Amino acid sequence: MISESNPLRDTAGAAPPPVPPLDTRQIMAIMISERMEVLMTELRRPLRVQRPLPQVTALTAPFWEATREGVLALQRCTACARFHHPPVPLCPECHASGFEYAPVSGRGTVYQYTVMRQARVIGFEDLVPYTCLVVEIAEQPGVFVVGNLVDAGGARARVGMEVELRFEPYGEDGLQLPQFAPAHSTGA
């Protein structure tokens, strides 16, 4: 903010004292200090990530509801007991259409990943660079869940890295977003 003693802005008071004329150097110093204020405000601003919220459907609602309790639950066929993610209307394995959502441990292995180096996704500019993991879940080979790499302490993602589940607040409605951190047991 501009200090109250700023002679260019100080117009309060019934009888302001006469303002001495400013030379060019003084005016420039004031302009620079104003810019610095803006810059410092920007630097102090917390990272702001605007993650899009899900358009929840009957098929996906149990996934998101479970996150409120801090549980990662995936769709599972009641006939063949295989997990599917994203959820499907018909089991690709046995073509049955009865499903439940069952909790999984959230442990898994990084199957593939990318590190985004450019601000080319609206809402994620402040997060650059950020890592997106495709994690193969421990419960069933060939079932993948996406997450960002969090709590990595500077560790880089790599294919084959063991990870475990984290949740972070997501939106204003009590949802939580499943994320992945390097697994403690292996020390990543």
Binding residues for another protein, rule: CB under 8 A, are 49, 51-56, 60, 84-86, 88, 92, 111-118, 120-124, 127, 130, 132, 134, 142, 144-148, 158-160, 170, 177
The span from the CA of 88 to the CA of 75, in Å, is 8
Host H or E run for residue 76: strand 73-77
Between residues 3 and 118, which has the closer beta carbon with respect to another protein?
Answer: 118
Between residues 127 and 183, which has the closer beta carbon with respect to another protein?
Answer: 127
Host H or E run for residue 36: helix 24-44
The span from the CA of 55 to the CA of 103, in Å, is 21
Half-sphere exposure of 5 (CA within 13 A, CB side): 0
- Which one, of 111, 155, 154, lies nearest residue 133 by Cα? 111
Q: What is the CA radius of gyration of the chain?
A: 26
Between residues 30 and 138, which has the closer beta carbon with respect to another protein?
Answer: 138
Do the beta carbons of residue 54 and residue 65 sit within 8 Å? Answer: no
Closest separation in Å from C-beta 118 to another protein: 5
Between residues 146 and 183, which has the closer beta carbon with respect to another protein?
Answer: 146
Closest separation in Å from C-beta 53 to another protein: 7
Closest separation in Å from C-beta 162 to another protein: 14
Closest separation in Å from C-beta 120 to another protein: 5
User: Hunting for tokens 């018909």 — which residue is that?
Assistant: 90
Between residues 35 and 48, which has the closer beta carbon with respect to another protein?
Answer: 48
Classify the phi-psi angles of 142: left when phi > 0, otherwise alpha if psi is within -120 to 50, otherwise beta: left
Closest separation in Å from C-beta 168 to another protein: 10
